[in-house]
Amino acid sequence: MTPAAPGRLQRWRQTLAGLDRADPWSWPVLPRRVLGLAVCLLAGLLVLLGGWLFWIHEIEAQQADEQSRHARLRADYRGKVAKARELGELRREGRAALGSLGLLEGRLPASSDMEALLAEINRAGQARGLEFLLFKPGLASRQGACTEQPVALRVAGSYPALGAFVADVAGVARIVTLNDLGLSRQAGGQLLLDGMLRALHCPFERDGTEAGPAGDLARHRHAQLFAEPAVTLPAAPSALADRPGPELQAWMADVARRPLADARPKAAAMPPGEAEPEPPVHAAFETRDPFDPARPGVDAAGGPAEAGEPGPSARIKDVLEAFPLSAMTMVGTLQQGTRRVALIRVDRYVHAVRAGQRLGLNQGRVTQVLGDRVEFVESIADGRGGWLAQPAMLHLTARQPGP
């Protein structure tokens, strides 16, 4: 420091000490310029700080939006990976479904087969000895891709023959339904079956596709849908691909290797023969026609019967069939191995009764022997020559206390 330096500093101190802070405009030129420069720098710093804070807030909002978008893109990528993994299985299931559809469409008659189908139904009725009083095809109506052909039907015949005819129609290989069925009796005793037969047929060729330009389009769509392309995982979303890096590549590889927890449940395989049910069998030929009033001397099964009892009379009657139920008293039970025997008193004698034996005047057949009762079923005449099964019970009588 030169000898003049302390003097200069002293003069500066004196000058600054002598400045009037209330009147800066009276200051010398140099201090006034220094003060103006300091004020400008402070104002600039405040402006920069405000702009910085505003810009930082906008950047933070954009960062939050990008993070949310990043999470959505990751979720979309996982979904696309899942779809890509299941593509082969979906195509195999689609081909299987298309094959099943072809089998089901094979049961739909083509337009040229409708006449043969109606003739087959007519032959089934004639084979059962039925008389067709009405067989009138109506106006066909469009039902989606197929056409429904209604046929008004009226057939006369016996009850078993009508039932067998309905079973025959249900067993036809083609899809045919019987609707709005009604039964009525003719004056001659025969039954009339009225109904509406509905047969579905589609304008398909035998290869399962529609003829014409529509069929060409359908075949093209099937070929495009069920072609077997190489299954590849989807590429990364464009927003992520713009910023490739080791972290993104590692995450994509991890997603590709990770087992999917939310995998689509696989459809259960159809058991063999499920699509081809067995044809219905009508097994009511041995039953009595419910529309035929029972005749005296004929039991419910259609066989001859003696007066007062159903069925044949060659059976040897049990001892208790000669007594009315009012003369019987259950006094106890016995256990013989796994079978229980009821003790029934009639007059002064006690009889052992087991399940299957008969008692009473109405051919009561014992069905079950319990500790407190005997259950049996009686055959009661219905007044029209038929018989009704009437359940009944014989309860254990409480012992009277001795004197």
pTM of structure: 0.39
Which pairing describes strands 364-369 and 373-381: parallel, antiparallel, or unpaired? Answer: antiparallel
- Of 153, 144, 75, the residue nearest 121 (C-alpha): 153
Q: Where are the domains of the chain?
A: 42-87, 111-201, 319-395
Question: Is the fold of 111-201 the same as that of 319-395?
Answer: no
pLDDT of residue 114: 73
pLDDT digits (tens, 9 = 90+) for 45-70: 888 888 777 888 788 888 888 888 88
Kindly report which listed range (21-25, 90-94, 266-270) carries the lowest average pLDDT score: 266-270
CA 302 to chain CA centroid, Å, is: 44
Find out whether 193 and 154 touch, Cβ atoms under 8 Å.
Answer: yes
Question: What is the CATH number that goes with domain 319-395?
Answer: 2.30.30.830
Higher pLDDT, 355 or 86: 355
Q: What is the pLDDT of residues 94-119, one digit of tens each?
A: 888 887 777 766 666 666 677 777 88
The topology (CATH level 3) of 111-201 is Alpha-Beta Plaits (3.30.70)
Residue 65 pLDDT: 87
Q: What is the mean pLDDT of the chain?
A: 72
Percentage above 70 pLDDT, the chain:
60
Residue 199's pLDDT is: 83
Beta bridge partners of 137: 151
pLDDT band at 261 (very low <50, low <70, confident <90, very high): very low
State the average pLDDT over residues 380-396.
78
Sign of the alpha-carbon torsion through 96, 98, 103, 104: positive
pLDDT at 284: 54
Amino acid at 347: D
Pair of tokens at residue 342:
């009821």
pLDDT value at position 206?
A: 46
Q: Could you tell me where the beta strands, DSSP code E, fall in 158-212?
A: 176-185, 191-201
- Judge contact between 157 and 147, C-beta under 8 A: no
Q: Which residues contact 27 (CB under 8 A, 6 or more apart)?
A: 19, 20, 35
CA pair distance 308, 320, nearest whole angstrom: 16
Place of tokens 């499920």: 274
Taking only the tens place, the pLDDT of each residue in 26-41 is 667 677 777 778 888 8
Question: In angstroms, what CA-CA distances link 231 with 82, 221, 227, 260?
Answer: 12, 19, 11, 17
How would you class 392 by CB atoms within 10 Å of its CB: exposed for 0-12, middle for 13-18, buried for 19 or more? middle
**What 8-state DSSP symbol labels residue 398?**
P
Phi, psi at residue 166, to the nearest 5°? -60, -40
